[in-house]
Amino acid sequence: MAKQSAKSPAPMMTDPKGQTLVCLRTLSESEPATLATYLKLGGYQSLKRLVTEKTKATDIITEVKISGLRGRGGAGFPTGLKWSFMPRYFDGVKYLVCNTDEGEPGTFKDRDIIRYNPHQLIEGMAIAAYTLGARVGYNYIHGEIWQDYETFEAALKEAKEAGYLGENLFGTNFSFDLYAVHGYGAYICGEETALIESIEGKKGQPRFKPPFPASYGVFGKPTNVNNTESYASIPWIMQYGGQAFADLGVANSGGTKLFSVSGHVEKPGNYEVKMGTPFAELLAMAGGVWQGRKLKAVIPGGPSTAVIPASVMESTTMDYDGLSKARSSLGAGSMIVMDDSTCMVKALHRLSYFFYEESCGQCTPCREGTGWVYRVLDRIVKGQGKMEDLDLLTDISKNISGRTICALGEAAATPVISFIKHFRAEFEYYIEHGKSMVDSKAEQG
């Protein structure tokens, strides 16, 4: 892209906790969310340079491809490739959408970007808008984090007043308006086409693809949808170069990744680390398993990714290939840690209720299937399960998977299949004795 000379050498970015800060790089400052702080770190300079030097879109996309950035919302699709799908010439308004609708249990990383480093997201979106020719952008934010929505709206106002959003930016003919919009309690709106429906003021029911948003998105116009963390990585890539970003990670997994660590750890929270970081290191950063207990299992990327038993997890690295080798996936980096006091039957029971409650009702296999799964698990938890229920659960799940418009069906099936596969003895014990194996052991002391 742009002249190599314009790029600065990448700074050392390891913080005292051992994190490598890209998307949350303002965290090392005293007032992380302010424009002044972001400017101090070189913020908005890449946008200004690209726009005023009239850098070619194809050069920017090439740089994003070099960075190895893959969609951080869960699918892991290469961002540069996605950008190349947007039609270059279109007679009318093209849209840019950011997905900050985190509703998958265990996912809360984008929340920290909008509340601690909102300007980096704004700059990332503005760079994307310049590259893709989008005139208007929306950041769709999960309704439950209302105070963070307000923080982001305030940052938008600040950016606009400082001349980083709006008309004819930096005296050029590039204009970009960016707005915050919100969900109001629907997990399904994290799915990009449901999110688009929601922006249009409708029920969040996914659209059949194709057509993909790149050709038919918001208001039927070409639309690029990326995750918050993906956009927030862009300014750093433009500032220090795609190769520098790729070098932070490992093969097939460029850059850093924000991991949301929740459940049974001493210090739950977000940790931004290099892709390829060993699980053990990340767990140690989060203070280890709480109360001195032993690790039992980890859901590495949110419940739509397969659960991994401790023995496998302990030797896994946190990147796309590492988790795929462990027969799961990186997902959104939502790591739910479970200690040895966890009853896997009850954990799955709760998750199955979630998917049943959040199915949008559009596709029969998902609408009915998630209900069946929940009811079968509910009878097991109530001591009325039958041994054949285990095969029934797996069978229903396999019949949901791949037979729905969106990925929620598959997301609902994955935990059922993986929990029963790895912890079958626990399910059998529950059915046989009408109570939890873990609770029984605890009672026996």
Q: What are phi and psi of 205, to 5 degrees?
A: -110, 125
CA distances from 180 to 96, 137, 151, 445 (A): 12, 9, 10, 53
Q: How many residues does the chain have?
A: 445
Q: In what order do the strands lie in the sheet with 223-227?
A: 177-182, 136-141, 95-100, 223-227
- 67 versus 262: smaller Cβ distance to another protein: 262
Least distance from another protein to the Cβ atom of residue 290, Å:
9
- 313 versus 336: smaller Cβ distance to another protein: 336
Is the distance from CB of 22 to CB of 43 less than 8 angstroms?
no
Q: How far is it, in rounded angstroms, from Cα 166 to Cα 175? A: 6
> Where in 103-222 does DSSP place strands (E)?
136-141, 177-182
Least distance from another protein to the Cβ atom of residue 46, Å:
26
Q: What are phi and psi of 86, to 5 degrees?
A: -70, 130
Q: How far is it, in rounded angstroms, from Cα 299 to Cα 166? A: 42
Could you tell me whether strands 136-141 and 95-100 are parallel, antiparallel, or unpaired per DSSP bridges?
parallel
Q: What are phi and psi of 78, to 5 degrees?
A: -55, 125
- 199 versus 376: smaller Cβ distance to another protein: 199
Least distance from another protein to the Cβ atom of residue 363, Å:
16
Which residues lie near another protein (CB under 8 A)? Answer: 93, 102-108, 110-111, 138, 142-147, 179, 181-187, 198-204, 219, 260-264, 268-270, 299, 303, 334, 336-338, 342, 347, 350-351, 354, 357-358, 360
Least distance from another protein to the Cβ atom of residue 439, Å:
13
Least distance from another protein to the Cβ atom of residue 181, Å:
7
165-190 burial code (b ≥16 CB/10 A, e <16): beeebeeeebebebebbbbeebbbbb
Q: List Cβ neighbours of 115 (8 Å cut-off, separation of 6 or more).
A: 33, 147, 148, 151, 152
- 105 versus 255: smaller Cβ distance to another protein: 105
- 140 versus 245: smaller Cβ distance to another protein: 140
Least distance from another protein to the Cβ atom of residue 427, Å:
17
- 186 versus 431: smaller Cβ distance to another protein: 186
Report which secondary-structure segment, H or E, holds 366: helix 364-381
- 77 versus 146: smaller Cβ distance to another protein: 146
Report which secondary-structure segment, H or E, holds 272: strand 269-274
Least distance from another protein to the Cβ atom of residue 263, Å:
4
- 357 versus 395: smaller Cβ distance to another protein: 357
Least distance from another protein to the Cβ atom of residue 112, Å:
8
Q: How far is it, in rounded angstroms, from Cα 376 to Cα 330? A: 29
- 105 versus 365: smaller Cβ distance to another protein: 105
Least distance from another protein to the Cβ atom of residue 11, Å:
27
